[in-house]
Amino acid sequence: MKSSDMPLDIDQIIKKSQEVCTLAGAKLTDKRKNVLIVLLAAATPLSAYEIVERYKTHFHEALPVMSVYRMLDFLIQEKLVHKLETSGQYMSCAHITCEHQHETPQFLICDRCGSVKEIGIKQHIIAELERSIQSTGFTLAHQQLELHGICEHCQIKPQ
Amino acid sequence: MKSSDMPLDIDQIIKKSQEVCTLAGAKLTDKRKNVLIVLLAAATPLSAYEIVERYKTHFHEALPVMSVYRMLDFLIQEKLVHKLETSGQYMSCAHITCEHQHETPQFLICDRCGSVKEIGIKQHIIAELERSIQSTGFTLAHQQLELHGICEHCQIKPQ
DNA sequence: TCTGCTATGATATAACATAACATAAGAAAT
DNA sequence: ATTTCTTATGTTATGTTATATCATAGCAGA
Ligand SMILES: [Zn+2]
Ligand SMILES: [Zn+2]
Ligand SMILES: [Zn+2]
Ligand SMILES: [Zn+2]
């Protein structure tokens, strides 16, 4: 299951992505765009090697995995894609078309079906986390939170 | 830097580990024990391959990486060792000698020196997290939280 | 001793990621 | 239009993390 239950308008997201890149003085080349499309069309995060396979299927063109890693680096820099550190997989940002600035992301990873829902982390959670570790002298870098569990759909389904 | 600033009494931890295993009907063999000792003596988490190297240095005996993975599986099952999912590294549990049951662990990972401090996650943080995702229908599995940042020591040191 | 179980060894391979250098494609300057 | 520079992509090799599979050793109980 795609984590968002809303149907995606890929064309619109790509259009917005173009704008984001142009604004940043970066170029969303055709291949970078196609990699993003593969991720947008996927129901779950994909590894770089899975992207190679799907790219081949979708676009009838081979893409070296080395290039995929570089394109992912680019897309991550532009915050169009995120990397899940706990699984080494990549997924498109769920908030590309949102106007607001990108917040610290929080990922809800379903351990049964593999779907991932990205939500912005609530400010008060960050504040609580910081308060709870204050005594350790540790300073948080706001990267991302990856939480594992069972998604809504998988809960109502039989095992 | 070892994350805990307290000097470790490795002998005492090993003794307790023996007890934990015996109680669980499991055997802490010499090799498993030695792998644990390597981790206890390390200042930072180690990869399985790094454990192989250090094992060789400490004990003048080669250990196949395959065996290390199996011993890590065993030690993780007995909660004597944790795996950091964000880096594929392993570290000894900081609470082996504690009497209380093992809580959901939270790891503060220093991105400058690589040290990791393990603390039990506060109940109210879990409650807050659960409340914040309630509307998504997602049910958290209490695995572990890996937080990145800068540790106390690295903050006072020049870059 | 025989039997069966658990631990470990050995080998191969899968899966994820980076390094280094070559070529192509496009923009800017001449 | 040609040269030059830069950026994007291709190619090959290798490093790193993890699993699969089958063989052997060691040990406990019948
Ligand atoms: Zn995002
Ligand atoms: Zn699910
Ligand atoms: Zn622990
Ligand atoms: Zn540090």
A46 DSSP 8-state letter: B
Give me the percent of chain A exceeding a pLDDT of 90: 87
Measured between beta carbons, the chain B residues lying within 8 angstroms of A117 are 136, 138
Residue B64 sits at φ, ψ, to 5 deg, of: -65, 145
Read off the pLDDT of residues B65-111 as tens digits, 9 standing for 90 and up: 999 999 999 999 999 999 999 999 999 999 999 998 999 999 999 99
Q: For all residues of chain A together, what is the average pLDDT?
A: 93
Mutation target among B117, B138, B144, B146 for the A interface, most CBs of A within 10 A: B138
- On whether any CB of chain A is under 8 Å from the CB of B103, the answer is no
Alpha-carbon span A150 to A114, nearest angstrom = 9
- Please give the structure tokens belonging to residue B82: 């944790």
Residue A2 sits at the vertex; the CA angle it makes with A62 and A152, to the nearest 5 degrees, is 150
More confident residue, B113 or A1: B113
Tell me how many helices (H) and strands (E) chain A has: 6, 6
Q: Which nucleotides of C are covered by protein (CB under 7 A)?
A: 6-12, 15-20
What residue segments make up the domains of chain A, in order of their start? 1-99, 103-159
Shortest distance between the Cα of B61 and any Cα of chain A, in A, equals: 32
Q: Where are the beta strands (DSSP E) in A5-115?
A: 81-84, 89-92, 105-110
Q: What is the pLDDT of residue B159?
A: 64
Torsion of CA B32, B35, B39, B45, to 10 degrees: -100
Q: Where are the beta strands (DSSP E) in B67-115?
A: 81-84, 89-92, 105-110
- Please give the structure tokens belonging to residue B146: 């890996």
Q: What is the pLDDT of residue B8?
A: 76
Q: What is the pTM of this model?
A: 0.92
Q: For all residues of chain B together, what is the average pLDDT?
A: 93
The domain over range B103-159 is classified in CATH as 3.30.1490.190 = yes
Inter-CA distances, A107 with A66, A115, B62, B91, B92, Å: 26, 10, 40, 24, 27
Q: What is the pLDDT of residue A2?
A: 44
Torsion of CA A154, B139, B96, B30, to 10 degrees: 10
Average pLDDT over residues A79-87: 96
Q: Where are the beta strands (DSSP E) in chain B?
A: 81-84, 89-92, 105-110, 116-120, 139-140, 145-150
Chains A and B form CB pairs within 8 A to the count of: 87
Is residue B7's pLDDT more than 80?
A: no
Distance B47 CA to ligand 1 centre (A): 30
B44 DSSP 8-state letter: S
- Say which CATH class B1-99 falls into: mainly alpha
Residue with tokens 């593999």: A114
Amino acid at A32: R
Torsion of CA B42, B43, B49, B54, to 10 degrees: -40
The domains spanning B1-99 and B103-159 adopt the same CATH topology: no
Sheet order of strands, B145-150 included: A139-140, B145-150, B105-110, B116-120
Average pLDDT over residues B14-29: 96
Q: Is the CB of B32 under 7 A from strand C?
A: yes
